[in-house]
Amino acid sequence: MPRNSTRLTFVVLATGAGVFSMLQSLVAPALPTVQHAMHTSQSTATWVMTAYLLSASVFTPILGRVGDLIGKKRTLVAVLVALTLGCLLAALAPTIGVLIVARVVQGIGGALFPLSFGIIRDEFAAADVGSRISNLSAVIAAGGGVGIVAAGPIVSALDYRWLFWLPVGVVAVTALIALRYVPESPGRAEGRINWLGAVLLSGWLVALLLPLSQATGWGWGSTRVVGLLAVAVVLFIAWLAAESRSGHPLIDLRIMRLPAVWTTNTAGLLFGAGMYAVWSFLPAFVQTPRSAGYGFGASVTVAGLLMLPMLIAMFCSGVLSGRLEPVVGARNLLTTGAVLGAVACGLLAAWHDEQWQVALAAGIFGLGIGLAFASMANLIVRSVPAEQTGAATGMNANIRTIGGSLGAAVTTALVTGHVQPSGVPHVSGYTHAFGLLAVLCLGAALAALLVPVRRAERTSLVARGSDEVSRAEPRTGAAGIRG
């Protein structure tokens, strides 16, 4: 195989990003099993998910920027090695504390998303960039679905530790192939790592996401939640001030203010709230005993199978979006994806008495996820200078995560706010939650409509390989931001 094989490069990127995405959701259905096996409390077991979330939110934008500066291939290999070690440590973890540390190490793999998008932009022909990004986005989206579907069978047939043993070999081989065959970045960003910006960014992300993920147990009015949210605001303001004054900002705020970037990020925030909440609460809904007046009393495995239409639909629509984008534009695809998400959530709120109804709604939501993921990535990549690709796509991924945390926190409050004497939530909690998620997805569609038409049209033209348009685009400012 030639060292510069773009096909092999894409396989490496898709495998690494897909495995990391799968690990995001693979553990959630197995948390009760982990809690029992580790002889720990439910609140402690939830840190297996929280640690992963916090670690990924910190490392994704920072290592995305590191890749822009020192080389994407070098950073990619290091991240794949870290992900391998994290999975190995988790598989061998003797205590819950070691497992939580392993999940922190695994969170470093979040940088695979921005690094992969950056490598595609560097290594593939202009005519292929749009379709390759769409295909990679489809793999990333489907990876989360695979985690939900596969968790039950793996735990039932083997053991929860195999949730980590299986990725070890896959990621290790991927790292070796990446080291041998993925080419190094031809161009690098100038400057150095702004460590003050990195510390402040990490600080406000942790201070924001930690209380959101733990608010149900701590209480929304508790000192810890209110205090951490206040700290997040202070650190966010300090981060903005530090980045705006830095000659080498970690995240160039001028990039974040570009119309195509901030509108896409706003849509990502709102759509992320709906997507992650559906992933978290739809399996719980179908596993609710029928004695509660709703639900199907499904096992973890059956609940995963009911999510299978979502997995298939999101992969197919993500791949299809690469073919549709040159025709209809990324903005329209993002809008359509968000609208489909709203329709799916509306159906779940009003129409959930039979399993096939839930499966249908899940499939529609999967179509929306595939279109939205692919179009968001393309809009960001096409709107920023090549040397800012890693940082910009890393922040977009983080903003979706923040939206997901907000959506999950609000949905948890609605679902668990009023429970039956048996401790099971009332069906009204779920219907109100799904209704709210439909509104959030509609908000994402409205934000998508604000993406500048001219930018979307350029994206379409570039995807067709129009060198003439590329040469005609003026550059402004020292950062080379396309106008």
106 in a domain, yes or no? yes
Q: Are strands 481-482 and 475-476 parallel, antiparallel or unpaired?
A: antiparallel
At 36 the pLDDT is 87
pLDDT in tens, 173-183: 999 999 998 98
Domain C-terminal end among 218, 247, 276: 247
Mean pLDDT of 201-214: 90
Q: Based on the fold, state whether residues 394 and 422 are members of the same structural domain.
A: yes
Average per-residue pLDDT in the chain?
86
Residues 370 and 280 reside in one and the same domain = yes
* Predicted local confidence at residue 1, as pLDDT: 43
- How far apart are alpha carbons 64 and 59 in whole angstroms? 8
The residue to which tokens 């924001």 are assigned: 208
Classify residue 100: in a domain, yes or no: yes
pLDDT at 127: 85
Q: Of 219, 247, 275, which residue sits at a domain end?
A: 247
For tokens 């008495």, what's the residue?
353
Nearest to 132 by CA among 264, 319, 267, 274: 319
Whether 457 shows a pLDDT value over 70: the answer reads no
With a CB cutoff of 8 Å and minimum separation 6, the contacts of 430 are 281, 285, 294, 348, 349, 352, 415
Q: Would you say residue 109 lies in a domain?
A: yes
Contact partners, residue 75, CB within 8 Å, separation at least 6: 63, 66, 67, 111, 115
| Same structural domain, 367 and 430 | yes
Q: Give dist(CA 115, CA 51) in Å, integer.
A: 22
- Domain shared by 57 and 43, yes or no: yes
pLDDT tens, 23-72? 888 888 888 888 889 998 877 888 888 888 889 888 988 898 889 888 99
On whether both 260 and 242 belong to a single domain, the answer is no
- Using one digit for the tens of pLDDT, what is the confidence trace for 70-125? 899 999 999 999 999 999 999 999 999 999 999 999 999 999 999 999 999 888 88
Do residue 166 and residue 201 come from a single domain? no
368 in the same domain as 237: no
Domain containing residue 444: CATH number:
1.20.1250.20
182 shares its domain with 132: yes
Residues 14 and 100 in one domain: yes
If asked whether residues 147 and 211 sit together in one domain, one would say no
CA distances from 212 to 50, 53, 58, 221, 228 (A): 10, 11, 16, 12, 10
Give the model confidence (pLDDT) of 275-323 as tens digits: 888 887 888 899 899 999 999 998 888 888 888 899 899 889 988 988 8
* 198 and 164 in a common domain: no
Residue 1 lies in a domain: no
126 part of a folded domain: yes
Q: Is residue 61 part of a domain?
A: yes
Residue 252: the pLDDT is 86
The count of domains in the chain is 2
Domain of 233, in residue numbers:
194-247
Residue 474: pLDDT over 70: no
Q: Are residues 35 and 53 in the same domain?
A: yes
pLDDT for res 41: 83
